[in-house]
Amino acid sequence: MRKSIVAVTVSGLALSLAACGGQPASPTPSSAGGTSAPAAKPLNGVTIEVAAKWTGSEQANFQQVLKAFEAKTGARVTYASTGEDTGAYLGPRIQGGNPPDIAILPQPGLVQQYAKEKALKPLTPEVQKQIDENYTPYWKELGSSGGQVYGVLVKAAHKSLIWYRDQAFQDAGTQPPTTWDELVKTAQTVADSGTPPFALCGASGWTLTDLFENVYLSSAGPEKYTKLSKHEIPWTDPSVTAALEKIGRLVGKKEFLLGGSSGALQTDFPTCVTQVYGQDKAAMVIEADFVATSAEQSGAKLGEEAKYFAFPKAGDTEPVVLGGDIAVALKDSKGAMALLEFLASKEGGEIWAKLPGYLSPNRNVSPDNYPAELTKKLAQTIISAGESVRYDMSDLAPSAFGGTEGKGEWRLLQDFVRDPSDVKAIQNKLEDEAKKAWK
């Protein structure tokens, strides 16, 4: 979806099929002293179609993973790109009775939608075994509907980061903060040095949902986060009040935002990244690991001028919010389930992790597999966070509330940035919109 637009671009290691067991089996000596033919592979002659939104380098890297699966099983895997609107691509194919074997969905809401339409096939015990061994129960629940498990999260985006321009921090004589109070103080110090602290990407409403989700997860905790994501507690709850009030301490100070609130609401993503790194107009940008791509394109070197720190704690929980992509089966075939089992496995995750631009939600994929220091560190934070990791809340919501430009949460959080003085009024409007969306 829009929040995993592009993966981190970092120098990586090329994947050779030989390194992952992809070479054809060598002939083995026969009892007569000659050689026998290689053993038949379990999916020889089977063709599997996979559809996902990835193009360019993301597609090329995923196809390396598919090649490793082909070499292991004998299957032939074809790839179809859905484009950014996965639902628009899959809908007609499902209705026409010709879906791909596997689809990789950019938001969990589509899992629920297609499950209700009976378009998904429940995962076999073999696939579920891999999920149970390699994922926390939360991720299993995320791919489930009506008591059936349909999907496995295969790729993650780390959304609990704040990126900063090192020279701006040096000029202000400040260090990366670790708590919300420290972040507010750091912002004031940077502002006093003559540089606006934040380039806020307010024209892209999804960035404001990311900001809210991090503050809310940290201040309210994982259990309430899950409840709010399902609308089991109202948006008028005091926990929402507390989170919005904390955000108001940043967005309510015009000197904290490049161009003030008006400028922030006219700046989209990734223009906000360019303002920090290419133009040196601001010190920080609040967004996910994929900021790295835009920072590099702006001429900043990762780890030197372009640095990040973990999203500061606004409460008792260190927030780790993930976006990501969920693989599901649209056909009940041996090949489809075998590929899902492979993608859910430690082996499959490790092969993918050796390529650039990938983060695994699989807790048994060691950070040592990643080719760059950035992804090593991010992977470790996902593993260390354990049961407190949560998925992007707005992507869990009905699209009318959490994923539509000019509507629902996107618009109302933009209104809040414009005028954060009346928290209760914004909460009431959020609750009104949520009630309509969850009917």
CB 159 within 8 A of CB 288: yes
User: Structure pTM?
Assistant: 0.85
Q: Is the peptide bond before 270 cis (omega within 30 degrees of 0)?
A: yes
What value does the mean pLDDT take over residues 98-114?
93
CB 251 within 8 A of CB 437: no
The phi and psi torsions of 32 (rounded to 5 degrees) equal: -90, 5
What value does the mean pLDDT take over residues 127-144?
96
pLDDT of 40 reads 79
Domain 2-22+43-158+322-391 CATH assignment equals 3.40.50.2000: no
Cα(78)–Cα(103) distance, rounded to whole angstroms?
A: 12
Domain 161-319+397-437, CATH among 3.90.1300.10, 3.40.190.10, 2.40.420.20, 3.40.50.970 = 3.40.190.10
Task: State the chain's mean pLDDT as an integer.
Answer: 91
CB 307 within 8 A of CB 221: no
pLDDT of 39 reads 67
Same fold, 2-22+43-158+322-391 and 161-319+397-437: yes
- Note the pLDDT tens digit of each residue in 9-21: 333 333 332 333 3
pLDDT of 19 reads 34
- Chain centroid to CA 315: 23
> Sorting pLDDT into bands at 50, 70 and 90, what band is 6?
very low
- Note the pLDDT tens digit of each residue in 384-407: 998 999 999 999 998 889 989 999
> Sorting pLDDT into bands at 50, 70 and 90, what band is 302?
very high
- Note the pLDDT tens digit of each residue in 52-79: 999 998 999 999 999 999 999 999 999 9
pLDDT of 36 reads 53
- Locate the domains of the chain by residue range: 2-22+43-158+322-391, 161-319+397-437
Cα(12)–Cα(9) distance, rounded to whole angstroms?
A: 9
